[in-house]
Structure 1
């Protein structure tokens, strides 16, 4: 079939029809036609030729042209697509290198194979344009709620018609007891939109915590207007959820606004979530207060927060333990998700037993080390002394403030404590050297003899060994694996070494070895201080 024998306007009509059906730009379809005709022409005239086709947007007339580029004599390689300056003078008076010489060539006859190939090129380009259009349309809808119609179910996954595309609701993104039939209307959260080879993939969810947040935004005008903000959401899909809210207008109660008149607003969300029970909690900047709110309806007696480990201990009355934990640990698990903290719950009786055990352990330490009677040791513990270092190196005035201790007694206590510590250090030095620890380790500022002994027992025996340690290897830390926080024991954790202390000691060792320039450390410290003064995050 020759292109000239065809109805030229039919090209434009076909392009218009395809563009309207696929909802893409007609120019994209015409460009695909031009590309396919150019490929067909190359198969006729030769693949080394640069053949281009232009279809007139008004008449539909297809013009075939041959393009050759002017190059230097020594660079001429492709005689079909390039020509020298001398050769170009036949077509142009003063040609220059880089100029293009364009001349029209006769249209080609499209045989059956060439026509089929051209059709495949057009279809491929149209599909690509349709995929690009879908991706551009839905990528900005990520994080929003979308309404759709169930088309079919595939291996437990629901395919949803969402207008100009299809979304997939995977089986693990469905609320447990939900089931759908074709043509059912469904409301979902657009969790992700990815560009893949088979087209844009739109992943939907009904279990994502943000789905509930978006539902509240639709039902509560104050959230939409920014007067109330949702600070955190935690869900056990289909069963129970907790949502923390704060109001930026003192005259508006955030919890009451979310509940609505006679519970109308929250019930609308509950209905969409298949009866999921929702606890609406006032958010608070104070971590302990927020946690007490998050554990509702259980009552909390005391909260102990370990800031470094991001862990919190909660003490509840004995009769409130099951309520605080919840069925299968649901209440405490949701509270943990909401606050982002590990939560240990214990009863008042358990906390009392633990405190008594700690009290007895410290009392025994003072009795054995200081050679004093139990009553005197208990007195020291009750006044807040936790270890021998505190007794040995505290200001004597603090000891004198304890009833029954005079100046002579205070001096004697501190002398005994120092003697005991010195004896421990002597034994630790002997043990560490017997294990192979080098003297250079004892010179690191901050490392005590018992610490060096502990390092040597674990194979850290040289300054080089110590300088390669990470701060968390020494001080311990926490890592998150599969959404659960796990404890990493540190080599010096028993000595109450913080991450900052460990980092300083390791850096000191690296400076001593010449691995780090101390002037660079000072410059980084100065920059960190400047950032802190300006309210910025310190630079890494």
Structure 2
């Protein structure tokens, strides 16, 4: 096939037809044609030649040109596409290195093989353009709901026709034992879109918590308008779910708006989720109040929050325990996901038993160390004293409020407590020295002898060793492993050293050793208002 005047316009017509069919830019198709014709020309004139083809966008005329570049005399590698300055003088006036000489060559006669090769190049370019268009279209729709039609099922995964492409609903993203047949209508959540070698991959989900949130947004106009906000969602797909909502308009009840007249709105969501039971909960800034709401329908007697550990203890009546935990721990698990806290549930009897045990331990501590009888030790515990340090260094007036304690008795109590503390410190210091602790660590400000002993037992025996510690290694912390929070025990955790205190001590040690320049730790603050706002942000 030769590119003649008879078929020049056919190039543009073909490009427009392909672009319209594949919904891509016609320019991309024309560029693919230019590349395919260029390859065909190289096979005719020689692959070492730099043959380029330009198709006129109005007339469809294809122009074949040979390009040669001027290079240094000793840099010529390809004599068909490069030439020296001396050789270029035959064709150009005052040539210089980097100039190009372009000359038109006759159009090629395309045989069957060349035409087939050109066709493959065009198809490949069109496929790439189609994939790019598909990726650009769907990547901005991540986090939204899409309607599709089931095409087929492969190894439990459902292939869904979403209009201009195919998407996949994996087996683990389906609700329960959902089964679909070809041509079934399906509604899914676009979870991810990835650009891969075989084209863009669109991953759908029906189990993602945000799928339920988006369904509520479609059913409840107040959520779509921003009057009501969904603050948190937790799901056990196909079984039960909890959703926390808040209203920014005092006249609108967020729970009532989500439920709808006679439950019409929530029922529409339930039907889409295959009968999944949904608890709609009012969100509250107060963690304890929010948790009480999240554990509905169970009644809560008391809530104790440990903010550092991100854990919470909930006390419920004996008859409410099974309701609070739920079937197979479902209710407490969903409440934990909703609040972002680890929840320990106990009955009132268990709570009372635990408090009694703590009372007895503290009573025994005072009886043993302060040489007190049981009654007097119990008085101290009842007044809120938990350790020897509180007794030794509290204001004398706080001891005098205890029945039967006068000034002499209070002074004697504090003297005994200080003697015990000093004795324990001396023993800890001796033990630390036996373990080989250096004076630099013993004299470090902020570490008690007991802390130094604990560090030595963990093989931290010098200031250099201490400076290499991470803050969580000292104060302890929590790590999320496979969706569950795991406790990291800290060396100094039993001494109530907070994470911030551990950070400050480690940084101080690094500064003392010269590892860190303290001037670099000071933030640069400009007097200008704009800079101040940026630093604050």
Q: Same fold (TM over 0.5)?
A: yes
Q: Which structure 1 residue ranges, 4+ long, deviate > 6 Å from structure 2?
A: 533-539
The correspondence of residues 25-174 of structure 1 with structure 2, limited to 5 A, is 25-73=25-73, 75-174=75-174
* Secondary structure of residue in 1 paired with 2:69: strand
Counterpart of 1:433 in structure 2 is 433
* Secondary structure of residue in 1 paired with 2:391: helix
Paired residues in the alignment total 534
Counterpart of 1:411 in structure 2 is 411
Aligned mates of 1:534, 1:325 — CA distance in 2 = 49
> Which of 444-453 and 80-89 deviates more?
80-89
Aligned mates of 2:534, 2:24 — CA distance in 1 = 47
Counterpart of 1:245 in structure 2 is 245
The correspondence of residues 39-438 of structure 1 with structure 2, limited to 5 A, is 39-73=39-73, 75-438=75-438
> Which of 102-111 and 9-18 deviates more?
9-18
User: Aligned-pair distance for 1:95?
Assistant: 4.3
User: Aligned-pair distance for 1:94?
Assistant: 4.7
* Secondary structure of residue in 1 paired with 2:4: helix
Q: Is the 8 A contact 1:315 1:345 kept in 2?
A: yes
1:254-276 per-residue CA deviation (whole Å, 9 max, x = no partner) reads 00000000000000000100100
Aligned mates of 2:393, 2:412 — CA distance in 1 = 13
> Which of 134-143 and 389-398 deviates more?
389-398
User: Aligned-pair distance for 1:74?
Assistant: 5.1
User: Aligned-pair distance for 1:512?
Assistant: 2.6
- CA RMSD between the two structures: 2.1
1:361-382 per-residue CA deviation (whole Å, 9 max, x = no partner) reads 0111011111111111111111
1:460-483 per-residue CA deviation (whole Å, 9 max, x = no partner) reads 222222211111111111000000
Aligned mates of 2:66, 2:6 — CA distance in 1 = 22
Aligned mates of 1:519, 1:499 — CA distance in 2 = 23
Aligned mates of 1:311, 1:46 — CA distance in 2 = 75
1:496 aligns with 2:496: yes
Aligned mates of 2:534, 2:502 — CA distance in 1 = 24
User: Aligned-pair distance for 1:58?
Assistant: 3.0
* Secondary structure of residue in 2 paired with 1:451: helix
CA separation of 1:534/1:399 partners in 2, compared to 1, >3 Å: closer, same or farther? farther
User: Aligned-pair distance for 1:232?
Assistant: 0.4
> Which of 101-110 and 204-213 deviates more?
101-110
Aligned mates of 1:400, 1:66 — CA distance in 2 = 105
CA separation of 1:357/1:536 partners in 2, compared to 1, >3 Å: closer, same or farther? farther
Aligned mates of 1:333, 1:536 — CA distance in 2 = 40
Q: Is the 8 A contact 1:231 1:283 kept in 2?
A: yes
CA separation of 1:181/1:330 partners in 2, compared to 1, >3 Å: closer, same or farther? same
Aligned mates of 2:253, 2:147 — CA distance in 1 = 31
Aligned mates of 1:467, 1:454 — CA distance in 2 = 16
1:460 aligns with 2:460: yes
User: Aligned-pair distance for 1:67?
Assistant: 1.7
* Secondary structure of residue in 2 paired with 1:3: coil
For structure 1, list consecutive stretches of 5 or more residues without a partner in the other structure: none
- What TM-score comes out, normalization by structure 2 length? 0.95
Q: Is the 8 A contact 1:3 1:108 kept in 2?
A: yes
CA separation of 1:223/1:534 partners in 2, compared to 1, >3 Å: closer, same or farther? farther
Aligned mates of 1:225, 1:73 — CA distance in 2 = 72
* Secondary structure of residue in 2 paired with 1:146: strand
CA separation of 1:258/1:495 partners in 2, compared to 1, >3 Å: closer, same or farther? same
* Secondary structure of residue in 2 paired with 1:123: helix
Q: Is the 8 A contact 1:444 1:508 kept in 2?
A: no
> Which of 435-444 and 309-318 deviates more?
435-444
Aligned mates of 1:222, 1:201 — CA distance in 2 = 34
User: Aligned-pair distance for 1:87?
Assistant: 3.9
CA separation of 1:433/1:333 partners in 2, compared to 1, >3 Å: closer, same or farther? same
CA separation of 1:536/1:94 partners in 2, compared to 1, >3 Å: closer, same or farther? closer
Aligned mates of 2:518, 2:185 — CA distance in 1 = 66
CA separation of 1:279/1:129 partners in 2, compared to 1, >3 Å: closer, same or farther? same
- What TM-score comes out, normalization by structure 1 length? 0.95
Aligned mates of 1:383, 1:426 — CA distance in 2 = 29
Aligned mates of 2:218, 2:113 — CA distance in 1 = 56
Aligned mates of 1:443, 1:65 — CA distance in 2 = 84
1:397-435 per-residue CA deviation (whole Å, 9 max, x = no partner) reads 222233322211111111110100011111111111112
* Secondary structure of residue in 2 paired with 1:153: strand
Aligned mates of 2:101, 2:333 — CA distance in 1 = 74
Q: Is the 8 A contact 1:445 1:508 kept in 2?
A: no
> Which of 10-19 and 347-356 deviates more?
10-19
User: Aligned-pair distance for 1:21?
Assistant: 2.0
Q: Is the 8 A contact 2:5 2:61 kept in 1?
A: no
> Which of 478-487 and 15-24 deviates more?
15-24
1:232-280 per-residue CA deviation (whole Å, 9 max, x = no partner) reads 0000000000000001110110000000000000000001001000000
Aligned mates of 2:68, 2:187 — CA distance in 1 = 57
